Amino acid sequence: MATKPNVRVQSDTVPLSVALLARLDALGIDVARVLEIARVPQPTSSVAVLHLDTQHFFAVWAAIGEVSADEEIGIRIGSEAFEGKLDLASLCALHSRDLSDAFRKLSRYKRLTCPEDVRVDVTEGEAAVTFHWLLADASAPDLLVDAIFASTVKLAGRASGGAITPKRIELARRTKGQKRLARHFKCDIRFDAPTDALVFSSTDMKTPFITHDESLVHELVPGLDAELASISKHESFDGQVDAALLRGMRGQRPSVETLAAELAVSPRTLQRRLAQNGTYYQERLDAVRQRVAHRLLANTNLDLGEIAWFLGFEELNSFSRSFNQWEGVTPHRWRIQKTGTEPTLAS
């Protein structure tokens, strides 16, 4: 039987600007219908920001896709993100030294505004940037991914004077709109990826920003750090563990020692604190693996062997046995039931 992971990294609150809703209305989208589909109350005239949980925030973006006939609406919204008022984390990123510094600041301060984690993995001359919604029970809607990537590319281009463009975009979805995406992002678009990733050349990460303003950053950082420390006091330790497991899920099973090191505690302390909360390492690992397996099976054509590898299983049979324990069916059968179609032969 399926179990819902008990993940709590911070308050599950995501801001939805009323200014964005006004922009959607200007683009001809029936905002009232969007909010109705997403089951979100209409904002009053005195409200500037709606505070939603991740589930309803995703529902709004899914509803935008349902109501709008414009397949590029996510890209349009994201491309305009740096034209208006910025949150403090984005402002810090825009005025950083370079792209590497910008992503460090986004990674550190993004969770002040929403439960989203930004990670950069540099290997073989490439820097892969991924965005993880830590409290999501489902994958982010495609339009939201498009918007996040478009806003990130806009940041890189604006801050570098057009010198930085993505090398490649990898999408954890089935092939759709490849020419449209390639036309906007002007790079290679690859589908059926294990995770959504925006890939830059590692050399681009050190390209100086023409918007660099160290004095402004120094003015903002102390306040952001103080707010971050306040939030950290109220974070669930189980949630921190799940977030670390999610970040590190790249074809390996993170050991207790590796996980403890990332959380800056000893392995004994890690296991003791989990036990105090009535859980343990394997339970947390299974919860995260289950969530990721659901997303990859439902949204991509990755074969089962590739999914098993990404989740850190040594062989396909081990993944199939574990999945059967979670869901009561094999991953092959679950995929058919979820998508209503027979998977590819490779699955």
Q: Which two tokens stand for residue 266?
A: 């000893």
Asked if the model's pLDDT at residue 234 lies above 70, the reply is no
Asked if the model's pLDDT at residue 2 lies above 50, the reply is no
Q: What is the CATH number of domain 14-206?
A: 3.90.1520.10
Domain coordinates in residue numbering, the chain: 14-206, 236-347
Phi first, then psi: what are they for 133, rounded to 5°?
-90, 110
Q: Which residues pair with 15 in a beta bridge?
A: 51
Radius of gyration over every alpha carbon of the chain, rounded to an integer in angstroms: 20
Distance separating alpha carbons of residues 3 and 326, to the nearest angstrom: 7
Asked if the model's pLDDT at residue 226 lies above 80, the reply is yes
| DSSP structure class, residue 175 | S
Asked if the model's pLDDT at residue 168 lies above 90, the reply is yes
CATH 1.10.1740.10 fits 236-347, yes or no: no
Q: Would the CATH topology of 14-206 be identical to that of 236-347? A: no
**Would you state the pLDDT for residue 184?**
94
With a pLDDT cut of 70, the percent of the chain lying above it is 93
**Would you state the pLDDT for residue 252?**
77
Asked if the model's pLDDT at residue 100 lies above 70, the reply is yes
Asked if the model's pLDDT at residue 170 lies above 90, the reply is yes
Global pTM value: 0.82
Distance separating alpha carbons of residues 34 and 41, to the nearest angstrom: 10
Burial class (CB in 10 A: 0-12, 13-18, 19+), 114: buried
Distance separating alpha carbons of residues 44 and 41, to the nearest angstrom: 9
**Would you state the pLDDT for residue 110?**
83
Higher model confidence: residue 311 or residue 226?
Answer: 311
